[in-house]
Structure 1
Amino acid sequence: MQIDKLKDEIKEYAKEIGIDKIGFASADVFGELRERLRRQQELNYQSGFEKGSIEERTEPQRLLPEAQSIISIALAYPSRMKNAPKGTKADRRGIFARASWGMDYHLVLQDRLEKLDSFIKKRVPDAVTKIMVDTGELSDRAVAERAGIGYSGKNCAIITKEFGSFVYLGEMLTNIPFIPDEPVEDSCGDCRKCIEACPTGALIDHGGPKGGQINAQRCISFLTQTKDFMPEEFRGKIGNRLYGCDTCQQVCPKNKGIDFHIHKEFEPDPEAAKPKLKPLLRISNREFKEKFGYMAGSWRGKKPIQRNALIALGHFKDETAIEDLKELLRKDPRPVIRGTAAWTLGKIGTEEAVKAINEAMEKETDEQVLYEMEKGLDLAKIK
């Protein structure tokens, strides 16, 4: 079969199965990315969630020796929630980032790529492929940029002409030698809105034409997924975020007016995407899985979400949460949860909150928790 004809057929089929953008790239080494990753490693900007070595992440043929091309796909997701619930003083709410509003995108993109794979193999029986969605070694963004899906902006997201940066990405390595598509020209220009708006200064502008760089260690999206104590420097920046951060996308001019509700899988359940905070403190593992298990934001389990909910309650200085916080201080077996509850009580700072910390200190033996309790008492004095 002619490669050009096959490429056109794949593009047509991609539309039929709900792929919003598709592009084709060479499987050549990602030389520039390799240098950026080495620099990232030297500066300790990595999150630790990255998979594979720098060589595996930049040399496609290490992953599929026969690889000649990479097919990149993008699916758009909503930026606005219909019927979003509003928090009240008695029932404050947290928020999941937009990329986690609906069904876990890994599953949805995997499904689309598997359908594409079957389609290709019916036409080219000896085709060899390898599918990846976010958790693979390759950089989804680098592949999408090379395939002409969009360009890498200063917010380190792929920005598409049609859907802004509100797209999920996935790719397929193949031995079929497709003619590559042309990359899209970067059009961030002199705009620095995302860099200036980042709450923790995680975005770094190196002044070049190839987008920005991110210090994952300072990125709220990364920090909300960690399981240990949240570094104190960042607790005041988290606000009511439970998972992820959308600030750099929200301020981007390329996202102005962008809101696509194309895929029913990505439509949020408002009560899951913007849940009440206090019930999260008492939720069981089973209840957590039932309510949030289908979302990408649940992948680290309930502990980070509960810790972030505690920080959010401290952000609101929510006095109605004191009884729940006292209960956690007395009974929760996890030091991170007890310690963060003590910090939150200190942020609330009422007499009852201070008394609860002092009483719990008499029985506490964990050094980190005791440190957080002292910190809580200091915060209460400042109030």
Structure 2
Amino acid sequence: MSDFDFQKIKEKIIAKSKELKIDKIGFTTAEPFNESEKILLDYRNKGYSSGFEEKDIKKRIYPQLSLPEAQSIIAIAMAYPAKEPSLEQKDVSGRGEFCRASWGMDYHRVLKEKLSAIDQFIKELVPGTENLIMVDTGALSDRAVAARAGLGWIGKNGSLISPEFGSFVYLGELLTTLPLPADKPLERECGNCSSCFKVCPLGAILPEGKIIDCRKCLAFQTLNKGQLTNTVKEKIGENKYIYGCDLCQLVCPHNNKVTNNWHDEFKSDYELIKPDLKGFLKLSNREFKEKYGQMAGSWRGKKVLERNAIFILGKHRDEEAIPLLKEILFSDPRPDIRSAAAWSIGNFQRDDTERILKEALKNEKDAEVKKEINNQILKAAKFS
């Protein structure tokens, strides 16, 4: 392998990335991410983790635990839409929203296809090379890799911020046994800006910055299948996200002038990204898969998204939704969905709210749903 000019190989890989319409590419070593170890341990010990990360912290620090002979890491970024001007003029009443990272085709699939093409290209250049692709669910932190490879810097909200594309970028990497020349990290910070701290609905962005308490992150809570507090239900309903959350990115000054809407794979239809919630709740499982199956936002399944849609309808007191919410409360076979409907109906300060809830209570068998109905009856009594 010493016969190869690795600077020239790097240049060829960069040229290939442009051919593949990858927006940004960077290179770093496969040295351990020692600076992350204390942060990750502290993160786990304080209970900030989402539960979706690699459990073995050593694997998150040492690339060679994933690819034993790894010498370099190639990081890529693809920009996704920050704005769709044609969609901003639409009436959003009665609608929810998927966060921008889930618009269009599932980015895991898109980035893996791009990295697979680079993988094949490298193996043609240098036969015998071993590579390993990671996108989002790999052992390493995509953001830590991207930052060290010079794609951007980690903002106070924990997102990687690219000078060209803001924080609206998908990230992935390819570990390789090739000793490719490394790029330098960007030396930039957020300065005194605190916009993301102020806008975060549940206070997930910690004062020291770059650390997120996932238990308080609205994006995480929209995926949380466990019991939610009333505060979380309120915030999901108030902010209208049925999947994810963009608030800390939307207020970031580095995102003010970016649009990033040039990749056809990530463009989406208005009815998909801001669905009519009453129609959404009527979808069968088959219809949901046909309509939303290619989106990243579908991976958690329909039920948790339905629950969030119900919270939104209740928080915004959509009167036209009352018949549907009653139907769900009285006849849906899933206890957590009936419970969400009880909470939602309890938000309507109507003369018949208490009567509807008491009627539902008569035939309810599930203890948790009964508890929610009783809580809402007590609340409704204050307004009757």
- Measured in 1, the distance between the counterparts of 2:160 and 2:85 equals 25
The match for 1:224 is 222
Is the Cα contact below 8 Å between 1:77 and 1:167 reproduced in 2? yes
Relative to structure 1, is the Cα distance of residues 281 and 382 closer, same or farther in structure 2, using a 3 angstrom cutoff?
farther
- Measured in 2, the distance between the counterparts of 1:106 and 1:86 equals 31
Relative to structure 1, is the Cα distance of residues 281 and 113 closer, same or farther in structure 2, using a 3 angstrom cutoff?
same
Relative to structure 1, is the Cα distance of residues 357 and 188 closer, same or farther in structure 2, using a 3 angstrom cutoff?
same
| Residues 44-66 of structure 1, C-alpha deviations (whole Å, 9 max, x = no match) | 00011112410111110000001
The match for 1:83 is 86
The match for 1:108 is 110
The match for 1:97 is 99
Where 1:14 maps in the other structure, the secondary structure is helix
| Residues 195-223 of structure 1, C-alpha deviations (whole Å, 9 max, x = no match) | 121111000132xxxx5100001100100
| Pick aligned residue for 1:158 from 154, 157, 160 | 160
Where 1:230 maps in the other structure, the secondary structure is coil
Runs of 5+ consecutive residues of structure 1 not aligned to the other structure: none
Is the Cα contact below 8 Å between 2:59 and 2:139 reproduced in 1? yes
Counterpart mapping for 1:19-30 below 5 A: 19-30=22-33
The match for 1:214 is 212
What TM-score do you get using the length of structure 1 for normalisation? Answer: 0.96
| Pick aligned residue for 1:68 from 45, 60, 71 | 71
- Measured in 1, the distance between the counterparts of 2:55 and 2:225 equals 22
- Alpha-carbon distance, 1:297 to partner: 0.6
What TM-score do you get using the length of structure 2 for normalisation? Answer: 0.96
| Residues 122-142 of structure 1, C-alpha deviations (whole Å, 9 max, x = no match) | 001111000010011110000
Q: Which amino acid aligns with 2:287?
A: E
Runs of 5+ consecutive residues of structure 2 not aligned to the other structure: none
Is the Cα contact below 8 Å between 2:202 and 2:218 reproduced in 1? yes
Is the Cα contact below 8 Å between 1:153 and 1:186 reproduced in 2? no
Instruction: Flag as ranges the 4+ runs of structure 1 deviating above 3 A.
Output: none
- Measured in 1, the distance between the counterparts of 2:129 and 2:197 equals 43
Relative to structure 1, is the Cα distance of residues 381 and 185 closer, same or farther in structure 2, using a 3 angstrom cutoff?
farther
CA-based RMSD of the aligned residues comes to 1.2
- Measured in 1, the distance between the counterparts of 2:22 and 2:296 equals 19
- Measured in 2, the distance between the counterparts of 1:254 and 1:117 equals 32
The match for 2:309 is 309
Where 1:71 maps in the other structure, the secondary structure is strand
Counterpart mapping for 1:1-383 below 5 A: 1-84=4-87, 85-88=90-93, 92-206=94-208, 211-238=209-236, 239=238, 240-383=240-383
- Measured in 1, the distance between the counterparts of 2:367 and 2:34 equals 47
- Alpha-carbon distance, 1:24 to partner: 0.4
- Alpha-carbon distance, 1:382 to partner: 4.5
- Alpha-carbon distance, 1:180 to partner: 1.0
| Residues 7-59 of structure 1, C-alpha deviations (whole Å, 9 max, x = no match) | 01100110110110000011111111111110001110001111241011111
| Residues 257-313 of structure 1, C-alpha deviations (whole Å, 9 max, x = no match) | 111112100001110000001112221110111111111011010011000001100
Where 1:118 maps in the other structure, the secondary structure is helix
Is the Cα contact below 8 Å between 2:354 and 2:380 reproduced in 1? yes
Is the Cα contact below 8 Å between 1:81 and 1:268 reproduced in 2? no
- Alpha-carbon distance, 1:357 to partner: 1.1
- Measured in 2, the distance between the counterparts of 1:276 and 1:353 equals 24
- Alpha-carbon distance, 1:227 to partner: 1.8
- Measured in 2, the distance between the counterparts of 1:332 and 1:320 equals 19
- Measured in 2, the distance between the counterparts of 1:379 and 1:257 equals 45
Q: Which amino acid aligns with 2:131?
A: T
Where 2:347 maps in the other structure, the secondary structure is helix
Is the Cα contact below 8 Å between 1:261 and 1:267 reproduced in 2? yes
- Alpha-carbon distance, 1:82 to partner: 4.1
- Measured in 2, the distance between the counterparts of 1:145 and 1:305 equals 32
Where 2:86 maps in the other structure, the secondary structure is coil
- Alpha-carbon distance, 1:378 to partner: 2.9
Q: Which amino acid aligns with 1:37?
A: L
Relative to structure 1, is the Cα distance of residues 297 and 380 closer, same or farther in structure 2, using a 3 angstrom cutoff?
same
Q: Which amino acid aligns with 2:79?
A: A
- Measured in 1, the distance between the counterparts of 2:165 and 2:120 equals 27
